[in-house]
Amino acid sequence: MAFGWIDEEAESRRRAGLVRALRPRPADSPLLDLASNDYLGLSRHPEVTEGAARAARTWGGGATGSRLVTGSTELHAELEGELADFCGFEAALVLSSGYAANLAAVTALAPHGSLIVSDAGNHASLIDGCRLARGETQVVGHADPEAVRKALRTHDGPAVLVSDTVFSVDGDAAPLAAHAEACRERGAGLVLDDAHGLGVLGDGGRGAPHAAGLAGADDVVVTVTLSKSLGSQGGAVLGPARVIDHLVNVARTFIFDTGLAPAAAGSALAALRLLRREPERAARARTVARELHARLTAAGHEAVRPHAAVVSVRAPSPEGAVRWAAECRAAGLAVGCFRPPSVPDGISRLRLTARADLSEGQIEHAVRVIGETRP
């Protein structure tokens, strides 16, 4: 029977407690949301939603084509200019998702004969970019500059380090300055995914590379997503103008994909301008993360110290994590549930979002629910 093997895989997932299912949410959920990536609480901000509506009224419901045909609007160019300026880079290129941005950057900057050094904790989109690139990939230990240095010594040609700046599972940060030092010893470039740093780290939320003094360097390329701190959708690659020109000409997820919808570009631009005007939102997200971590560990939970806005709490098993998250939901709290294969170390977790707009009462409520529902 065609696709008969699917049933066997489904049964294996069921036995391992790894079945996933979609759960459509209503527009006005009664749950306290600590599951989304809306770090700054901007996805429903009136200025952001009006930015989306105004862009749709002006430019239409869709981009109508790829960016190289009809999908590049003046709005896309405006967003790219302001993103590059805010983050401290020469140029930017907006794509339809953060996933597409990572595939574009890695595949375009790791041709045949090159070496890709990839952190073991990298996001799936970076991993898939390494798989699709024509260069050779060496996976190195998590957040280990010396392992990066050793890997680069094995190769004499072009090389690039690929790493998240803040890792999505535990919320820990990469040692960017030490990584840059290791790469510069060998003339290697850096491709850094700042999906979880933009809007949270750096001066006014300008991102982890900006905080590390790497913004604008000619050997650094950064990818960001517009769907987390900016509360919209889409992704972008930031870097030297010649690198961005190169991506326009060779990156397949840019060339052959429909451009980002105008509404998403409009809402992202509105959110970026709001963040410029209210830089304290970034500091508040970090404060909430530290407060959540302190209260959870004081209550006896095993939680990883956050470097940005992700707070990770260890669960006893995949089944235990699913049950814990479900009981939190029943008590009015939405939390993330990370299980294999989404976690590189095989340890299941609850993943909490430390949103900038959480009140002290909501933080206290979340910690109480997590404690009361603990397996």
Per-position pLDDT tens, the chain of length 375: 899 899 999 999 888 877 888 888 888 899 999 999 999 999 999 999 999 999 999 999 999 999 999 999 999 999 999 999 999 999 999 999 999 999 999 999 999 999 999 999 999 999 999 999 999 999 999 999 999 999 999 999 999 999 999 998 888 999 999 999 999 999 999 999 999 999 999 999 999 999 999 999 999 999 999 999 999 999 999 999 999 999 999 999 999 999 999 999 999 999 999 999 999 999 999 999 999 999 999 999 999 899 999 999 999 988 899 999 999 999 999 999 988 877 777 789 999 999 999 999 999 999 999 999 998
pLDDT for 285: 97
Distance CA 287, CA 284 (A): 5
Residues 6+ apart with CB under 8 A from 143: 119, 121, 167, 172, 173, 174, 175
Do residues 231 and 267 make contact, with C-beta atoms less than 8 angstroms apart? Answer: yes
pLDDT for 170: 85
| Residue 248: exposure state from Cβ atoms within 10 A (0-12, 13-18, ≥19) | middle
Q: List 220's β-bridge partners, or say none.
A: 190
pLDDT for 101: 98
| Residue 152: exposure state from Cβ atoms within 10 A (0-12, 13-18, ≥19) | buried
Find the angle CA(73)-CA(77)-CA(82) to the nearest 5 degrees.
145
For residue 100, the 8-state DSSP code is H
Distance CA 200, CA 307 (A): 10
Region of 3 (left: φ > 0; alpha: ψ -120 to 50; beta: rest) is left
Q: In the block, which residue shows the tokens 């990584």?
A: 179
Residues 6+ apart with CB under 8 A from 165: 173, 174, 176, 192, 193, 194, 196, 197, 201, 207, 208, 209, 222
Output Rg (C-alpha) for the chain, integer angstroms.
21
- CATH for 46-277 is 3.40.640.10
pLDDT for 38: 97
Do residues 321 and 213 make contact, with C-beta atoms less than 8 angstroms apart? Answer: no
For residue 162, the 8-state DSSP code is E
Residue 139 to residues 122, 172, 221, Cα–Cα distance (Å): 10, 18, 19
Do residues 235 and 225 make contact, with C-beta atoms less than 8 angstroms apart? Answer: yes
The domain locations on the chain are 23-43+279-372, 46-277
Q: Does domain 23-43+279-372 have CATH number 3.90.1150.10?
A: yes
pLDDT for 1: 83
pLDDT for 187: 97
pLDDT for 343: 76
| DSSP output for 267-335 | HHHHHHHHHHH-THHHHHHHHHHHHHHHHHHHTT--BPPPSSSEEEEE-SSHHHHHHHHHHHHHTTEEE
263 closest CA partner among 96, 98, 100, 104: 96
Q: In the block, which residue shows the tokens 């992700």?
A: 310
Do residues 263 and 43 make contact, with C-beta atoms less than 8 angstroms apart? Answer: no
Question: Could you give the 3-state DSSP secondary structure of residue 366?
Answer: helix
Do residues 257 and 99 make contact, with C-beta atoms less than 8 angstroms apart? Answer: no
